[in-house]
Amino acid sequence: MPEIPEIETVRRQLEATIVNKQIKLVEITREKTFNVPIEEVLHHLEKTTVTRILRRGKIIILQFNQPISLLFHFMLEGYLKYLNPTEEFEKNYQLMLEFTTGEKLYFCKMYLGYIHLEMTTDLDQITEIQELGPDPLDIDFTAAKFQQMLTRRRKMIKPLLMDQDFIAGIGNTYSNEGLFLAGILPDRKASELQTGEIQKLYSKLRQILRESINLGGVRDTAYSSSDQLTGGFTPELKVSYREGEPCYVCGTPISYAKIGGRNAFYCTVCQH
């Protein structure tokens, strides 16, 4: 599932390609992906101009020159494809936005994900956003706040980091990588972590999320034919998907286990 770096990579590409473009035509092939009837989506989106692209956790929010927001969540498989007027698209899609300039934006494999139309631009009024924990890259997400959040949590640290109500936007990959860099085993109880470990985890998590954003995350689905960014962080992964391969630091084979139902990759020597 895409996490903050992959979603932020998509957000940045949307920002670079569709802001200030006017929607000419909207096509929907699957009403179940939406929270409102098709007619309502068409009514509100056609002829509107995209003004802003925001992100909260794993949710991207499109805003327009109208008091509405279009939220979408990819869940496991969803992705976007942006095509020039000369390019053909043959895959299935659930939503297509055609701009007056001729480019088309396709929303694909949204079967587990969703696209929601909300009648406000105030994100604090939107339930899907209200339910999220803090975004780890927010300015007000401080080390002190992180420590305070962890104190009374008896859950294991790996599944806790992936709990979207606790912190928004971290999944399997970056919880594995952050815990490795911080030297913490994934099954440690959150409430038993020492202050120094919490501070290290805080700074390593933010560092790796930023580095991955700069390199385009670990996804393999390109946004457009000119996309040179997506997936550039994949060779940088230290433990994820490396079961049995030698740890880059100590040479011990990387371990894999299900921890709290989640896929944990870790080094039994570098992590304690």
Residues that bind Zn ion (CB under 5 A): 247, 249-250, 252, 267, 269-270
> Residue 175 contacts by C-beta under 8 Å, 6 or more apart in sequence?
158, 161, 162, 186, 262
Q: Least Å distance between CB 269 and Zn ion? A: 5
Catalytic residue among 3, 8, 98, 118: 3
* 144 versus 250: smaller Cβ distance to Zn ion: 250
Shortest Å, Cβ 181 to Zn ion: 11
How far apart are CB 200 and Zn ion at their closest, in Å?
Answer: 16
200 is catalytic: no
**Residues 55, 56, 58, 204: which is the catalytic one?**
58
- In the complex with Zn ion, the residue whose CB is nearer, 4 or 182, is 182
Residue number, 67 or 246, with CB nearest to Zn ion: 246
Specify whether 158 is catalytic. Answer: no
User: What b-and-e string marks burial along 13-33, b requiring 16 or more CB atoms within 10 Å of the CB?
Assistant: bbeebbeebebeebebeeeeb
The CA-based dihedral angle spanning residues 143, 133, 221, 5, taken in that order and rounded to the nearest 10 degrees: -20
Tokens at residue 59, please? 């949710």
65: DSSP letter: S
Nearest Cα neighbor of 187 from 219, 163, 160 is: 160
Question: Residue 175 in 3-state DSSP?
Answer: helix
Q: Any catalytic annotation for residue 192?
A: no
2 catalytic, yes or no?
A: yes
Nearest distance, CB of residue 253 and Zn ion, angstroms: 9
Nearer to Zn ion, 71 or 184 (CB): 184
Separation of alpha carbons 172 and 22, rounded Å: 37
> Which positions are annotated as active-site residues?
2-3, 58, 262
